Structure 1
Amino acid sequence: MARIALVNLASMPMPGNEPIFPIGSRCLQAALEQAGHETLLVDFVENPKDFEDLSWVSREWDVIGFSIRNIDPIDLAREGFVRYYQQFIERIRTAAGPQPPVMVAGGPGYSLFGSALLKRLQLDAGVVGPGESAILEIAADPEKYRGSGENLKGGRYEGFLTERLSHPTSLLQAYASLPAAMIGIETKRKTCYQECVYCPYAHISGDNLGDLKPISLIEHEIRGIYEAGVRRIFFTDAIFNSEIRFAKQVVSLLADLKLPGLTWTGYFAPRPFDDEFAELVSRSNVESVLISPDSLDVAMMGRLGKRFDTRHVTRFIERCRAHELKTRVNLVFGGPGETEETVRASAEYVNEHLRTGEPVLNIGFRVLPATALARQVGIPDDDLVEPTFYPLNPELFGWVIKYFDGQFLPNERLLHIMIGNIASKKMTKVPYPEGSAGIAPTGFPYLALTRGPSDV
């Protein structure tokens, strides 16, 4: 039996950080406890004092594992988190004394930057991809991994299909008390079928056969969350309705449970999304149906790797209207080939088809490892740890303001656009690597990087 502390770094107090319930860490903890290991989940939302008071470090741990969800907020006006992780882990190392426990890390953010973070954070080992099987391997013989400098590849975990997942009431209630808090639920493990050029989901999820969590286990998880006083859940699947028949089963469960006040949402795609599914969703107390076309210009959607176009978005909106479903449509400007004309096309679509509060407007694509966008710009993955943004026309901010109806640009959104504009002008500009192949279409030969704390 090993003694393992799991530290949720996503709960650290950092500029720009918005803590999200540690569903990944809880899955690891449940797997470890099922195998007979002793664990502690250190979360600074649940226990804020643990961030300054490191007395928990002095317990005789065999392993301390760090969960890294995000490297930065993927926002032009925000700095990265890595230096905060470095500082905190160094504090842990000092508090642990001359013979610290074996130190490992994993999580979605770590999986993207595994080789770089393994060195930068001076870890013994890391886990890339789904973590249960790998953390169980480490727990079986911790000293084998001391100083190994090895990143283990996570894989399929059978327990996802067989083991009930329950969360401590104190942890649930701590997150439920946050503004606009939601608790995540994972219904399936399947590599995302979308091909968005900026998205690393497929890499993070790894090669997965498409395990669907049994409905009985999902019901158990929802009931436990509800009984703890939580009233909002988010299905963390890459695309909730990618397996439409299974999604209908999950939504039917929500409708049949009839838990007063319980609302839910997730990431959807405009197809597959038929009338039967829309009807089921309308009876399930869904909070909103969120899609991310990212552009509503057909050519831009193609360059962004979307497997649907505005025709599918229009049919999706019509179905949502017919069934009185609240929709949210994410748009991000500044991708490959973005011009004034493509921005205007998106704006004209929004002005004609959407209502106040439905579009969510953002500017700037963060270039992430293991994505088509990273391959286009030709920068090695390890060099993308600093927040790096695809080149965009400095006039872009003005185009958004010029072409979108005022109802879609409330004061808060206008302020965000202005701050992003100022931040983009202060970012370090670096040229594409010499000999880069497949440079994405742009008239701007420089990538923008943030370096050090933001002064915006």
Structure 2
Amino acid sequence: MARIALVNLASMPMPGNEPIFPIGARCLQSALELAGHETLLVDFVETPQAFDDLSWATQHWDVIGFSIRNIDPIDLAREGFVRYYQQFIQRVREAVGSAAPVMVAGGPGYSLFGSALLKRLGLDVGVVGPGETAMLDIATDPEKYRGSGRNLTGGRYEGFLTDRLDHPAALLQAYAGSSTAMIGIETKRKTCYQECVYCPYAHISGDNLGDLKPISLIEHEIRGIYEAGVRRIFFTDAIFNSEIRFAKQVVALLADLKLPGLTWTGYFAPRPFDDEFAELVAASNVESVLISPDSLDVAMMGRLGKRFDTRHVTRFIERCRAHDLKTRVNLVFGGPGETEETVRASAEYVNAHLRTGEPVLNIGFRVLPATALARQVGIPDDDLVEPTFYPLDPDLFGWVIKYFDGQFLPNERLLHIMVGNIASKKMTKVPYPEESAEIAPTGFPYLALTRRPADA
């Protein structure tokens, strides 16, 4: 059996990084241990000293796997993380010296940029998509993959339906120490049914059978998290209520458990979302119900690939109001065809229908591989590793301030908008390929905006 160290790079101290509990790495570690392999999970929230002290790396591992959740914070005002990953992995390589284990990487962020990161990080092999089955193959015969220079495609893992997931108490408590900490829970593995032009969820999750985790396993996982002192959980499904009948079972479980102080949330869609579901959610101590229409201009919603419009958003809000549910509505400006009129339409809807604290306003769509936006701009996937944004009108920042009521623009949000405006002016302009220019549904110059590498 193999000895494997798994390193949660998402917990590294980096500008703009907000560590999130490593649910993916923990699923992988659990699968490896159940198969009889010896593992160590290195997380810098749990053990901050491990970032500088690399003595753990020299303990004769057969494989060191690096979990990469994000490539950058997807924020106009932030730099990317890749150079920090390169520097750290090089430090690990130097620490292990000639006794180098097989170096592997995977995770959502890696899956999007696998071909580019395989080379940039100097890995032996990478895993694109769900990681358990591929990593189990690597663990069975690590030397087979040494220097292979290729990516494996992860597949369906049957253990998701049969195996209990027990997180180490020390790791849970390390993340529970923050007042904003949330622990992620998967309830299903299924390709997202939405068709949002900017979203890579379908590519990351891979082709699968739509497995629904048994309620008994979800209950066991929640109880273990609660007993470790964590009081906030986040269901990491692409859309929590995409399978409405199953979602109702999960919410009913939360209500039945009656665990004092436990709250939860997740990503929702305004449909399917009926009165029965709203009533169940209201009885389950939900923290908030978050939806992402991204725009509240009907034409704009269509261009963004939404499978609902403002009628469904209005009905959703009415149901939430009727059941006293706290809502959050995520809006992102700067997508294909965004104009002053579409921004004003969104603002008028928000001003008329939402309350203070409900809308979450952002500017700039990060262009990610395997999305409709990436196909539209025609920039090669490897060139999207540095933070790259869809072209936006420089007046966009002013339109948001002009049309939204002041209650929706607190000082913190105004500062965020101003910083984004300054950052956008420093971006390098990248021309669209000629064959893409004709199909880009925007009235703006055919330019993509990309952040310069921090050391450029």
Listed one character per residue, the Cα deviations across residues 401-433 of structure 1 (whole Å, up to 9, x for unaligned) are: 000000000000000000000000011111112
Listed one character per residue, the Cα deviations across residues 127-163 of structure 1 (whole Å, up to 9, x for unaligned) are: 0000000000000000000000110000000000000
What are the residue-to-residue correspondences of 1:130-141 with 2, within 5 Å? 130-141=130-141
Give the distance between the partners of 1:440 and 1:138, measured in 2 at CA: 44
What residue is the counterpart of 1:288 in the other structure? 288
Give the distance between the partners of 2:387 and 2:443, measured in 1 at CA: 19
What residue is the counterpart of 2:146 in the other structure? 146
What are the residue-to-residue correspondences of 1:224-373 with 2, within 5 Å? 224-373=224-373
Runs of 4+ in 1 over 4 A off after TM superposition: none
1:375 CA displacement:
0.3
Listed one character per residue, the Cα deviations across residues 216-275 of structure 1 (whole Å, up to 9, x for unaligned) are: 000000000000000000000000000000000000000000000000000000000000
Give 1:420's aligned amino acid.
G
Give 1:102's aligned amino acid.
V
CA contact (8 A) 2:336 2:440 kept: no
1:454 CA displacement:
9.2
Give 1:334's aligned amino acid.
G
What residue is the counterpart of 2:199 in the other structure? 199
What residue is the counterpart of 1:427 in the other structure? 427
What residue is the counterpart of 1:415 in the other structure? 415
Listed one character per residue, the Cα deviations across residues 189-234 of structure 1 (whole Å, up to 9, x for unaligned) are: 0000000000000000000110000000000000000000000000
Give the distance between the partners of 1:167 and 1:313, measured in 2 at CA: 37
1:440 CA displacement:
3.2
Give the distance between the partners of 1:454 and 1:387, measured in 2 at CA: 14
Give the distance between the partners of 1:248 and 1:446, measured in 2 at CA: 45
What are the residue-to-residue correspondences of 1:64-213 with 2, within 5 Å? 64-213=64-213
Give the distance between the partners of 1:97 and 1:122, measured in 2 at CA: 14
What residue is the counterpart of 2:448 in the other structure? 447
Give the distance between the partners of 1:440 and 1:122, measured in 2 at CA: 38
Give 1:349's aligned amino acid.
Y
Listed one character per residue, the Cα deviations across residues 61-95 of structure 1 (whole Å, up to 9, x for unaligned) are: 00000000000000000000000000000000000
Give the distance between the partners of 1:291 and 1:395, measured in 2 at CA: 27
Give the distance between the partners of 2:149 and 2:345, measured in 1 at CA: 49
Which deviates the most, 98-107 or 437-446? 437-446
1:452 CA displacement:
2.4
Listed one character per residue, the Cα deviations across residues 7-54 of structure 1 (whole Å, up to 9, x for unaligned) are: 000000000000000000000000000000000000000000000000
Give the distance between the partners of 1:444 and 1:171, measured in 2 at CA: 49
Give the distance between the partners of 1:435 and 1:280, measured in 2 at CA: 50
SS at match of 1:94: helix
Give the distance between the partners of 1:312 and 1:157, measured in 2 at CA: 35
Give the distance between the partners of 1:52 and 1:120, measured in 2 at CA: 22
SS at match of 1:61: coil
Give 1:201's aligned amino acid.
Y
Give 2:420's aligned amino acid.
G
What residue is the counterpart of 2:23 in the other structure? 23
Which deviates the most, 441-450 or 360-369? 441-450
Listed one character per residue, the Cα deviations across residues 383-405 of structure 1 (whole Å, up to 9, x for unaligned) are: 10010000000000000000000
Listed one character per residue, the Cα deviations across residues 148-179 of structure 1 (whole Å, up to 9, x for unaligned) are: 01100000000000000010000001011124
SS at match of 1:97: helix
Give the distance between the partners of 1:216 and 1:142, measured in 2 at CA: 35
Give 1:442's aligned amino acid.
G
Q: How many residues align?
A: 455
1:445 CA displacement:
1.7
CA contact (8 A) 2:118 2:149 kept: yes
Give 1:439's aligned amino acid.
A
Structure 1 segments unaligned to the other structure (5+ residues): none
RMSD of aligned residue pairs (Cα, Å): 0.9
SS at match of 1:412: helix
SS at match of 1:5: strand
Give the distance between the partners of 2:67 and 2:394, measured in 1 at CA: 36
CA contact (8 A) 1:79 1:454 kept: no
Give the distance between the partners of 1:297 and 1:69, measured in 2 at CA: 32
Listed one character per residue, the Cα deviations across residues 277-307 of structure 1 (whole Å, up to 9, x for unaligned) are: 0000000000000000000000000000000
Give the distance between the partners of 1:454 and 1:261, measured in 2 at CA: 46
What residue is the counterpart of 2:381 in the other structure? 381
- TM-score normalised by L of structure 1: 0.99
Give the distance between the partners of 1:179 and 1:447, measured in 2 at CA: 38
Give 1:17's aligned amino acid.
N
Give the distance between the partners of 1:286 and 1:105, measured in 2 at CA: 35
CA contact (8 A) 2:127 2:153 kept: yes
Give the distance between the partners of 2:59 and 2:207, measured in 1 at CA: 37
What residue is the counterpart of 2:36 in the other structure? 36
Which deviates the most, 87-96 or 430-439? 430-439
Give 1:147's aligned amino acid.
G
Listed one character per residue, the Cα deviations across residues 290-339 of structure 1 (whole Å, up to 9, x for unaligned) are: 00000000000000000000000000000000000000000000000000
